Amino acid sequence: MKIVKDDNNLLNMDEVSSLLGIKKATLYDYCMRRQITCVKIGKLNRFRMSDIQDFINKRIVEKVN
């Protein structure tokens, strides 16, 4: 699956779940709980690459020395 990393293109649920390595059901749950930013188009959830990157960056666990 080719995922375009351009913020002008919106990603769908399949692309984002594959990118994050999670099930679509988990991604739906994140959307419902507003843990990940999504763009609502009718009943569809779409995602900007910048929002996915923010979601990832907020979950980085730093190494303890």
The reply to whether 28 falls in a domain is yes
In a domain? residue 3: no
Report the domain count for the chain.
1
Q: Classify residue 41: in a domain, yes or no.
A: yes
Q: Residue 5's pLDDT band (boundaries 50, 70, 90)?
A: low
**Residue 56 and residue 40: Cα distance in Å, rounded?**
20
Provide the residue range defining the domain that includes 21. Answer: 13-57
Alpha-carbon separation of residue 51 from 7, 58, 63 (angstroms): 9, 11, 24
The predicted structure's pLDDT at residue 8: 74
Residue 64 belongs to a domain: no
Q: Is residue 52 part of a domain?
A: yes
Residue 5 domain-assigned (yes or no) = no
Mean of pLDDT values over 56-65: 90
Residue 44 lies in a domain: yes
For 46, phi then psi, to 5°, come to: -125, 160
Tens-place pLDDT, residues 6-34: 667 999 999 999 999 999 999 999 999 99
- Calpha distance 55→38 (Å, rounded): 11
Q: Tens digit of pLDDT for each residue in 36-59?
A: 999 999 999 999 999 999 999 999
HSE-CB of 58 using CA atoms within 13 angstroms: 9
